[in-house]
């Protein structure tokens, strides 16, 4: 993969890139399909019920059937919706979700773009999704959608700040924004131990960025009946769902890379297990955490959510940067 990246562009390796992207997309769709299946299954078990078990053996084809249903469903649009924006919103939400995956190093060699500013790329692109959400809320011409859209705008912008700040500590320790180098710098100790403050802030802020429980206010179904995507049906709705789960994949990968040593084994003695397995296990544990939280947590109120971001998470993240900076300066003899 890395050799491929170094080559001069030609028609031949462009085809390879295209094929690799398609393979990644297929893997991703497979992940989303079974993330949804296991989400329903795991939460079902946690809630003393069985979960989907009708379509296919053990219900394994349930999500396939659901997606098929969404695809053949009538594409409805409210009469007074803003046509162009209404059509644009799902694409705006989905495209960056897939684009961010380019910089993720799944193993030392398996990576699509080895950018020097990998972290910035991820954060900048994922910030675009909120535009899709606001656009959807506005274009639907529905009051519930509008409130949902504005809520998520406020929420995602507020939580992006502590999210970025919490990563600064990791960047300071590594001295690089390249995601591959960040992983390689964790050979001796995974970052979540020295960066436990940053890790905690990241975990909470990521939850809000993903719009997942307990911070699922934008789509709070008991208040807003579904929030910004209440008017969307069929495939357009599927795009929003897809974006949400792809982000879960992306955020899981980020947590793995930034704090849990990416593809590195838990102990050097276990390095006979391929790196991609380690990566997958860590990522899936994060995804499982999402299910667990969803089955457990109630939802805070909007204003509590905001004040939590600005009054708790941000100061903690700043404190983390300060401590990290002081310790690093001390170690390198600058103080």
Q: Which is nearer to another protein, 265 or 300 (CB)?
A: 300
CA distances from 75 to 78, 193, 234, 241, 245 (A): 10, 49, 6, 16, 22
Give the footprint of another protein on residues 123-152 (CB under 8 A). 143-144, 147, 151
Burial class (CB in 10 A: 0-12, 13-18, 19+), 185: middle
Stretches 30-38, 70-78, 100-108, 218-226: which one binds another protein (CB under 8 A)? Answer: 218-226
Judged by CB under 8 A, does residue 173 bind another protein?
no
Judged by CB under 8 A, does residue 87 bind another protein?
no
Site for another protein (CB under 8 A): which residue of 123, 128, 297, 327? 297
Site for another protein (CB under 8 A): which residue of 1, 46, 102, 316? 46
Q: Which is nearer to another protein, 203 or 297 (CB)?
A: 297
Judged by CB under 8 A, does residue 214 bind another protein?
yes
Site for another protein (CB under 8 A): which residue of 7, 76, 296, 329? 296
- Are the C-beta atoms of 133 and 218 separated by less than 8 Å? yes
Q: How far is the CB of 287 from another protein (least distance, A)?
A: 18
Judged by CB under 8 A, does residue 80 bind another protein?
no
Q: What are phi and psi of 113, to 5 degrees?
A: -145, 120
Q: How far is the CB of 85 from another protein (least distance, A)?
A: 20
Q: How far is the CB of 280 from another protein (least distance, A)?
A: 27
Q: How far is the CB of 305 from another protein (least distance, A)?
A: 10
Judged by CB under 8 A, does residue 220 bind another protein?
yes
Site for another protein (CB under 8 A): which residue of 66, 160, 216, 231? 216
Site for another protein (CB under 8 A): which residue of 270, 304, 310, 329? 304
Judged by CB under 8 A, does residue 222 bind another protein?
yes
Site for another protein (CB under 8 A): which residue of 7, 47, 53, 76? 47
Binding residues for another protein, total number by CB under 8 A: 29
Q: How far is the CB of 217 from another protein (least distance, A)?
A: 8
């Amino acid at each position: 993969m890395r050799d491929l990246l170094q080559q001069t562009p030609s028609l031949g390796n462009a085809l390879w890139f295209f094929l690799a992207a398609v393979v990644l997309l297929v893997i991703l769709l497979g992940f989303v399909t079974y993330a949804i299946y296991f989400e329903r299954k795991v939460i079902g078990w946690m809630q003393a019920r069985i979960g989907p078990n009708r379509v296919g053996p053990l219900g394994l084809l349930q999500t396939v059937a659901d997606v098929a249903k969404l695809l053949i469903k009538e594409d409805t649009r409210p009469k007074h919706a803003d046509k162009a924006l209404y059509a644009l919103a799902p694409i705006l939400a989905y495209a960056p979700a897939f684009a961010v995956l380019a910089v993720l190093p799944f193993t030392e060699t398996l990576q699509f773009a080895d950018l020097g500013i990998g972290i910035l790329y991820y954060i900048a692109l994922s910030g675009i999704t909120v535009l899709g959400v606001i656009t959807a809320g506005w274009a639907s011409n529905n009051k519930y959608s509008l409130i949902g859209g504005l809520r998520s705008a406020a929420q995602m912008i507020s939580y992006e700040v502590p999210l970025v700040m919490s990563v600064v500590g990791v960047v300071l320790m590594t001295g690089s924004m390249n995601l591959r180098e960040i992983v390689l710098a964790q050979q001796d100790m995974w970052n979540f131990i020295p960066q436990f403050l940053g890790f905690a802030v990241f975990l909470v802020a990521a939850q809000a960025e993903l719009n997942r429980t307990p911070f699922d206010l934008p789509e709070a179904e008991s208040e807003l009946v579904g929030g910004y995507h209440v008017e969307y049906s069929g495939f357009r709705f599927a795009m929003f769902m897809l974006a949400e789960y792809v982000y879960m994949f992306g955020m899981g990968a980020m947590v793995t890379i930034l704090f849990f040593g990416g593809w590195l084994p838990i102990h050097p003695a276990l390095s006979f297990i391929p790196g991609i397995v380690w990566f997958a296990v860590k990522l899936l544990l994060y995804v499982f955490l999402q299910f667990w939280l969803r089955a457990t947590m109630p939802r805070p109120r909007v204003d509590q959510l905001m004040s939590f971001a600005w009054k708790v998470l941000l100061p903690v993240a700043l404190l983390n940067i300060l401590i990290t900076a002081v310790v690093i300066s001390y170690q390198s003899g600058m103080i």
